[in-house]
Amino acid sequence: MPANDGEPMTSASPDYATELDLLIEASLEAGKEALRFFRNDVEVFWKNGGTSPVTAADHAANDILKERLLGARPQYGWLSEESEDDAKRLSQARVFIVDPIDGTRAFMSGKDTWCVSAALTENGLPIAGVLFAPSLDELFVATADGRVEKNGRSLKVAEADPDGRFRISAADQLINALAPETKRDVERLSRIPSLAYRLAMIADGRMDATLVMPNSHDWDLAAAHLILKNAGGRLTDTRGRDTLYNAKLPEHGVLVAASAALHDRLLASLPSGLA
């Protein structure tokens, strides 16, 4: 496990703590397995009509997560990017939502910004979440009672810039959709393929916001959403509605993620028809 940076770990409620420990254990094992393939000529397959890559590392990490998590909680539902969807999850209150490697394209190109994403949701809301970035030795955790940490240290989104400037990573077409008076305050950051890791960067203050293109999925978001929320950020659609999970179709439209104050500014700056 990544080393503690110096501040004591905070405590969670017994139920949340137990569930989080399970997620951490499984995510660390899956991440270490994926790391064996990293920068090592990993086998690549293509899905979704040849538009989306998946590697042998994704499959290996997914197998570990499924075995460890469902092996310990067989009564829970399961939703993973790399597993066939099982409709039984729709009738189960608690559901594991995982992405064995979020940021597969970064993984394939040898970049460090990929992570294992594992969440436990209850009635559509994340109650425990883990992001583990093995190549960076970073472990983010959160529980629904407010706990949020990176390598043992509490997280908080960045304070607002007094001049209104903000750091954002997003697609050109979404940046261009912002009102001119907001767009002029943008400081563009390089693209981060892993959506989960982007949200974590907002939570720990390295980035202020991201705008998410349509067709993100539950597994990209659930764990990172709880981490961001507990650190003082928000993730909603363009109407300001909170993101919910484990619907029949686990896909989302345009999303806005930022610290609370900046989030409101971005919503007001986007055209009303954007979805």
35-86 confidence digits (pLDDT tens): 999 998 778 777 666 567 889 999 999 999 999 999 999 999 999 999 999 9
pLDDT tens, 82-109?
999 999 999 999 999 999 999 999 999 9
Non-local (6+) Cβ contacts of 191 within 8 A are 169
Query: What is the rounded end-to-end Cα distance, in angstroms, of the chain?
Result: 39
Residues 196-243 have pLDDT tens digits of 999 999 999 999 999 999 999 999 999 999 999 999 999 999 999 999
- As a whole number of angstroms, the distance between CA 41 and CA 109 comes to 10
Rounded to whole angstroms, the Cα distance separating 72 from 26 reads 10
Which tokens go with 177? 């959709």
Same-domain status, 247 and 209: yes
Domain boundary among 107, 127, 154: 154
Residue 270: strand, helix, or coil: coil
**Domain range for residue 52?**
14-154
| Domains: count for the chain | 2
What pTM does this model have? Answer: 0.92
Residue 262 banded pLDDT, cuts 50, 70, 90? very high
Last residue of a domain, one of 154, 184, 202: 154
Residue 160 in domain: no
The CATH number linked to 108 is 3.30.540.10
